[in-house]
Amino acid sequence: MVNLEWFRTFKAIYETGSLTGAAETLFISQPGVSLHLSSLESYVGYKLFDRTSRKMVSTERGKILYNYVQESICKLEEAERHFHKSTEKDVPTISIGMCFETFQFTLESYLPTLPFNVIIKFGEYPQMLADLDSGILDMIITPQKGDYKGLEYKPFFKERIVVLAGGQTNIAQFNELLKTKDLLKIQDWLKAQTWYGSSGDMEHLRRFWHINFGKRPDFKPNFIVPNMGSIIRCLSGGKGVAVIPDFLSKNERDQGNIQLLWEGYNVIENTLYFGTRKRSIYAEQVAMIQEIFEREMV
């Protein structure tokens, strides 16, 4: 019968390019790595690597096998990390799902002060809901609700999707255009600006543009940066515009480094919810996290 450790070792060799690298990654001996590889090659009936003096080069069949098992091995390793018994028996660990920017804005600075362990997971909301229902996550921050009977949702904040401008952007002409409600001229002014977008989420821009102008935006941002936190830093004290949730720029707007340019003629608001399971052994820890969010996002 095949040993699943053979596949883990095969994956490590493929990714490190050597038996030594795989041994260091897996914290096992190099002879052990060699034994796993030879056993797997014997099991599948063909060579998985061509051995050179410096590197293990994958054969074509090795590449096919890697592409087939890589995702499954990663999921098993993630499950192993998540469910591994902690030596700190008295310190609970809770897993929380949310978007990266929400984590940075609210919870990140509080982590060293918490009396329990926290695992933060970023991802798409439908997957977070499924992970919450299955027990992989203990709490999520979400603008979406699912149809899972074992989950409950508590609204705690409304985020508004707005157009923000850098502190050095001259917005006097735009403010005059808003009074005319001339949609074509307003669009022309906006499209003439330097735009920032994030590689992870352009949905805010598309939705804002469609709701206020009745169509999808017919332009691309000048700069695509990793996330909305990067957009805030680029706009702060500079020039340019972007469509993002208003609460992310609260501190910068209070300091005058970023301007609220336009909320739109049709305002877009999303309700954020605490998503939890109806029965949880971490109710005390979840309540502490909720209190932090409620305090920070007022």
pLDDT score for 89: 55
Rounded mean pLDDT, 28-38: 88
Residues of the chain within CATH 1.10.10.10 domain(s) are 4-83
Residues of the chain within CATH 3.40.190.10 domain(s) are 93-155+272-296, 159-269
Asked if pLDDT for residue 2 goes beyond 80, the answer is: no
- Topology at the third CATH level for domain 93-155+272-296: D-Maltodextrin-Binding Protein; domain 2 (3.40.190)
Rounded mean pLDDT, 163-190: 95
Angle formed by the axes of helices 19-26 and 4-16, to 10°? Answer: 120
Q: Which CATH number fits domain 4-83: 3.30.750.24, 3.20.20.70, 3.30.70.100, 1.10.10.10?
A: 1.10.10.10
Q: For residue 31, what pLDDT band results from cuts at 50, 70 and 90?
A: confident
Asked if pLDDT for residue 216 goes beyond 70, the answer is: yes
pTM over 0.75: no
Q: For residue 179, what pLDDT band results from cuts at 50, 70 and 90?
A: very high
Q: Does the domain at residues 159-269 carry the CATH identifier 3.40.190.10?
A: yes
- pLDDT tens for each residue of 224-267: 998 888 999 999 989 999 999 998 898 899 999 999 999 999 99
CA 7, distance to chain mean position in Å, is: 28
- pLDDT tens for each residue of 90-131: 688 999 999 888 898 899 999 999 999 999 998 888 999 999
